[in-house]
Structure 1
């Protein structure tokens, strides 16, 4: 595993995060062009600034020894204590996880995911969840390799 630093993202990381957001979106646009627009991103730089300021939505980045951002994990802390039908647990939801296409296969994603797991444990979370697109089987296989399993299905019927 390369020498990596995993830390909370800051506003100086926005350009690198935007580059990775383009990579993620383009993988999804290739797999589901009926849903995703090639060349776009899930968030704008302005939205990233707002997310970075929100303590309940931490973003972690993985950087190499030169400080180059190789990956990110967007997280959301979900507190179900006020729910009328769910157990009063806290979940850490991984909204998005990406490793730069040039750094894949080098255990960057595994290290990043383990950091997120440690962060969730430290905060007393009951579980960590995420969604994976069926059109991205490499991601599904990666998450299964990390030990994640299906806990719900998202289904559709295209009209």
Structure 2
């Protein structure tokens, strides 16, 4: 989509990140989780305090996808100590690629993924890794199509529910 622009986010963009994050997470996972678990997760992970900490972390970067003046998705990548699990100095973690459901199938996720690749290459990383819920078949297919392979799994806490994330990695 030629109208899509991706820009690096700053603390001034925190409310935009919060709005997109809450909406896309709800759109994607509410149907598969209890209302209580969803509320607990959204309140904890998308609070202003939590997002402020994340946006200000020196080893994390956020990028927002815009269609004209409307935010339609975002990317969060981590290096060093900001990585949620591996903390491999030679790797970049894609923690989030979130796209509003109205834009699924319109290559916005692919553009955000390509931004992650660009950042990884700029930072001279040898691999990219991520965790994806085992039941999110759409995302697993997307990452597999982009050359990722499963290498492990971990527990993802969704409210009070422990779920399995497949960890996937791509060598650069």
TM > 0.5 fold call: yes
Partner residue in 1 for 2:52: 49
**Using the alignment, how far apart are the partners of 1:45 and 1:70 within structure 2?**
19
Contact kept, 8 Å, 1:22 with 1:40, in 2: the verdict is no
2:80 to 78, 89, 112: 78
Q: Does 1:154 align with 2:163?
A: no
**Using the alignment, how far apart are the partners of 1:35 and 1:24 within structure 2?**
17
Computing the radius of gyration from Cα coordinates, the structure with the larger value is: 1
* Post-superposition offset of 1:155: 6.6
3-state secondary structure, aligned to 1:105: coil
3-state secondary structure, aligned to 1:118: helix
State the superposition RMSD in angstroms: 2.6
Q: Which runs of 5+ in 1 are unaligned?
A: 80-85
Contact kept, 8 Å, 2:91 with 2:126, in 1: the verdict is yes
Q: How does 1:116-127 map to 2 (within 5 A)?
A: 116-127=116-127
Contact kept, 8 Å, 1:57 with 1:77, in 2: the verdict is yes
Higher percent of residues as strand: 2
Higher percent of residues as helix: 2
Contact kept, 8 Å, 2:6 with 2:66, in 1: the verdict is yes
Partner residue in 2 for 1:37: 38
Cα deviation digits, residues 12-37 of structure 1 (max 9, x gap)? 32233222222343223432439932
Partner residue in 2 for 1:28: 29
Partner residue in 2 for 1:104: 104
| Change over 3 Å in CA distance of 1:40–1:89 after alignment to 2 | closer
Partner residue in 2 for 1:130: 130
Between 1:15-24 and 1:118-127, the stretch displaced more is 15-24
Cα deviation digits, residues 33-79 of structure 1 (max 9, x gap)? 39932485222122222222222011111112x22111111111037
- TM-score, normalization: structure 2? 0.74
Count, aligned residues: 149
Partner residue in 2 for 1:83: none
